Structure 1
Amino acid sequence: MISQTATASKIQPREHMDFQLDETIPKYWFRNDPFKTRLLDGMQMSFPEGERYFITCVRAFRAGISDPTLEQQVKDFIRQEGQHGLAHTKFNTLLAQQGMPVSQVIAFHKKQLERHLERFSPAFNLAMTAGFEHFTALMADAFFTDASVLAGADHRVKSLFAWHAIEEMEHKSVAFDVMQKVAGVGYARRTAAMAYSTLLTVRMMLGYCEALLKADGFGWWARKRMLLANLGWMYGVNGVFSALLPKILAYFKPGFHPTDIPDMRYYGQWIESFRRTEDPLKACDALVDAARAA
């Protein structure tokens, strides 16, 4: 029997993953809901440039790493992030075929990240990376600990997100450890970067969702009605994102480390299924089945 609390202690880069992403994926693949679909489309659209930014920020301090364990973790982190970028680029190609303004959104996102690199110090950019990584690891946990969150999503897209979630668990401490052990970032800079990166993430997701819905042909008022209708789903008492608040606030505790947050439940079920089948779709099924049975 696989432990529900198996720890994601070993970073395992997985390459050449096949999620069977093709033109048969429905336009609104998440419950046939335009807002929910485009919210997650906009989030994942930013991943390729975001992963490159993370790699750049960590690499800036790579020469100062003396711990061989951390050095290997950074190497594996870079490999994982590179594969995430490749997989989400393929999905972005499908979105572009739907008429989504993919190139424009990505160009805007790239410009924003380049501005961060120009405006802020390497240490603050690394601290922002650690903040982004914490936020995305928490979202990964939220999406797959409760089977109902992504219920009704296309199986192939859900499997892509599940694989990404698993690897976010595995490398959730890497940027943080480089930030503290090599860059020497203290409490004030760490928490300021976390607050800023969280704000940027929320603004990015809503802004890109708005751009995609506009490209779909929804007018201003229709888009605002969708936003209002989904505020409870996002930020209500049991909202997907409001549920993250306690773990986000934990980041602001002195002495915090990402390993203070338990790894996502059912990580072991995904790992064991993928070990046996080498199929990320079947591994996603094992993850969701375990969550549903809880």
Structure 2
Amino acid sequence: MDGDRQRIMPRKAPDFGLDGDIPRYWFGGDPFKTRFFDAMSLLFPEGERFFIACVRDFRDQVTDPKLQAEIKDFIYQEGQHGMVHTRFNDRLKAQGIAVDVILKRQVDIMFGFFRKRFPRTYTLGQTAAAEHMTALMAHGFFSTGLFKDADPRIRAMYAWHAVEEIEHKAVAFDVLQKVAKGGYFTRVLSMLQVALTFPLHVFAIMAHMFKVDGVQNRGRVWLRGLWWLYGPGGLYPRLMPHFLAYLKPGFHPWKHGEMDVYRQWRQAYDRSGGNAILASDEVIASTAAA
């Protein structure tokens, strides 16, 4: 699988038309699925800033020119993601979501608590863990045709983000192992903490969103949504083998992850002259037909 390692491409963020007529429930009219991804998007800009800071902590200790170049491209990609998701979050703010309050709380937790009270190696471990979780979602979401009922603009945004997460999925991990010398205990503990706290944070934001939306029968919405996420054949059980692989002593990100959909997106994106929406539509059409 290491032969599948892809060069990080520092693309300028495409224009996804996020200021257009995107419906409130852009994911097939489903409040739970829509707000699940909305809540994650809300957290991305400050999350990307945290990841960049944690990798930069060790940047001046990196002697490998290849890893130095990968760090530079990783920082560029994460910065582009932050800008796009900030524009997306402006939509949420216009809907009455307390974006600024949520982001302040997130900053207090990540920068005011973890980066002040925990060793830099541990916060880099959190970054490597979060990067693995986003990469495994990237590998899994589109190969299963998950977004076939989503608005093409939002689908394209997440597809572009997913592709770039795959490209740089090993950067924080390599810095953790090769430079910070983070051991197995740090890697596993930080992953277990991130795997527990991140979804709880997302669910808390979703509860606020449902209240703002005035969603009726919220109990039923939650039950159906959690079954979609965690039930047999649900989203997360399908990704569980990839998640558990991170806990193996000999794990490395480039040993895992199916790359066919990634290559298809890259080819469609290049062929269309950098049209991320067309590239996403082509991938979804092929996975839905499979």
Shorter-chain TM-score tier:
over 0.9
Residue in 1 that maps onto 2:204: 207
How big is the shift at 1:204? 1.6
Identical columns (%): 44
Q: What per-residue deviation string (whole Å, max 9, x for no partner) do you get for residues 15-56 of structure 1?
A: 141111124100111111111111110011100000000000
1: CA distance between counterparts of 2:125 and 2:81?
21
The residue type equivalent to 1:62 in the other structure is R
2: CA distance between counterparts of 1:8 and 1:281?
24
Q: Which of 243, 250, 259 is residue 238 of structure 2 equivalent to?
A: 243
Higher helix share: 2
2: CA distance between counterparts of 1:207 and 1:265?
35
2: CA distance between counterparts of 1:7 and 1:288?
22
Contact 1:162-1:284 at 8 Å conserved across structures? yes
Residue in 1 that maps onto 2:220: 225
TM-score by length of 1: 0.94
1:258 and 2:253 are equivalent in the alignment: yes
Contact 1:140-1:165 at 8 Å conserved across structures? yes
Q: What per-residue deviation string (whole Å, max 9, x for no partner) do you get for residues 253-285 of structure 1?
A: 111111111244311111111112211001111
Residue in 1 that maps onto 2:143: 145
Q: Which of 98, 103, 107 is residue 101 of structure 1 equivalent to?
A: 98
How big is the shift at 1:119? 1.8
Contact 2:6-2:167 at 8 Å conserved across structures? yes
Unpaired stretches in structure 2, ≥5 consecutive residues = none
The residue type equivalent to 1:288 in the other structure is I
CA distance 1:157–1:60, shift in 2 (3 Å): same
Map 1:1-294 to 2 at 5 A: 7-114=4-111, 115-147=113-145, 149-218=146-215, 222-277=217-272, 278-294=274-290
CA RMSD, Structure 1 to Structure 2 (Å): 1.5
1: CA distance between counterparts of 2:20 and 2:270?
28
Higher mean displacement: 48-57 or 27-36: 27-36
Unpaired stretches in structure 1, ≥5 consecutive residues = 1-5
2: CA distance between counterparts of 1:8 and 1:167?
12
Contact 2:148-2:288 at 8 Å conserved across structures? no
1: CA distance between counterparts of 2:105 and 2:172?
24
Instruction: Report the count of equivalent residues.
Output: 287
CA distance 1:196–1:280, shift in 2 (3 Å): same
Contact 2:13-2:81 at 8 Å conserved across structures? no
2: CA distance between counterparts of 1:93 and 1:160?
15
Contact 2:96-2:212 at 8 Å conserved across structures? yes
2: CA distance between counterparts of 1:101 and 1:243?
32
Contact 1:10-1:170 at 8 Å conserved across structures? yes
How big is the shift at 1:8? 5.0
TM-score by length of 2: 0.95
How big is the shift at 1:118? 1.1
Contact 1:43-1:204 at 8 Å conserved across structures? no
How big is the shift at 1:164? 0.2
